[in-house]
């Protein structure tokens, strides 16, 4: 392996170490802000290390076909070390700022959704509910008025049919059903 490929590999491993540090800081700040359950931390740590290992080995395979040498580990270590010396605090602050901006944006979007979509739909549904109640009461009132107007005719019809109805014997179950219908009718009207 020629020195040029070795230097390129070392630079890519420095970059990979810095990328691992960046991902680690971002993950830790995100986990702290979102307060993942305690039991999930081990699974998330394992997922981070698997992703980091796959990333490093992919970079290693691209740069020198996967050959492990001492300078590969040196480059990773130096990349992580330089990242934590220079960029760790800035990254943490930036990730916190991004999370706060995302929370604010989500809050604004939820408020806009509530004001522009949910409240009008709820208002329209309440209006329709009120209109249906009003219409139902109006129909019931008109039906009562019509029934009151028809009451004399009903009494006259009953009086005219009394000779026939007095001779007809109603079964008991028909009488029970008629009583229930009359009770329901009186309750509604």
- The predicted pLDDT at position 147 comes to 86
Per-residue pLDDT at 67: 82
pLDDT at 52: 92
Residue 62: partners with Cβ closer than 8 Å, 6 or more residues away: 12
Task: Go through the chain and tell me how many residues it has.
Answer: 189
Find tokens 């329901």 and name the residue: 184
Where does residue 165 rank: exposed (0-12), middle (13-18), buried (19+ CB within 10 A)? exposed
pLDDT, tens digit (0-9, with 9 covering 90-100), for 159-178: 888 888 777 777 888 888 88
The predicted model scores a pTM of 0.61
Rounded Cα–Cα distance for residues 38 and 41 (Å): 6
Between 3-34 and 40-64, two packed helices, what is the crossing angle to 10 degrees?
Answer: 160
Helix segments in 65-171, DSSP class H: 70-86, 88-113, 119-165
Kindly report, residue by residue over 51-93, the tens digit of the pLDDT: 999 999 998 888 888 788 888 889 999 999 999 999 999 999 9
């Amino acid at each position: 392996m020629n020195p040029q490929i070795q230097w390129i590999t070392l630079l890519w491993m420095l970059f990979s170490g810095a990328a691992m540090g960046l991902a680690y800081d971002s993950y830790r700040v995100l986990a702290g802000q979102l307060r993942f359950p305690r039991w999930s931390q081990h699974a998330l740590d394992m997922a981070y290390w698997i992703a980091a290992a796959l990333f490093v080995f992919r970079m290693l395979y691209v740069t020198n076909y996967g050959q492990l040498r001492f300078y590969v580990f040196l480059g990773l270590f130096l990349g992580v070390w330089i990242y934590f010396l220079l960029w760790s605090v800035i990254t943490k602050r930036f990730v916190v700022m991004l999370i706060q901006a995302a929370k604010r944006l989500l809050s604004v979007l939820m408020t806009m959704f509530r004001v522009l979509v949910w409240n009008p739909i709820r208002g329209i549904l309440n209006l329709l509910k009120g209109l249906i109640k009003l219409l139902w009461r109006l129909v019931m009132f008109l039906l009562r008025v019509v029934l009151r107007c028809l009451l004399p005719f009903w009494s006259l019809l009953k009086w005219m049919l009394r000779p026939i109805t007095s001779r007809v014997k109603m079964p008991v179950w028909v009488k029970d059903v008629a009583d229930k219908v009359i009770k329901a009718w009186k309750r509604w009207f």
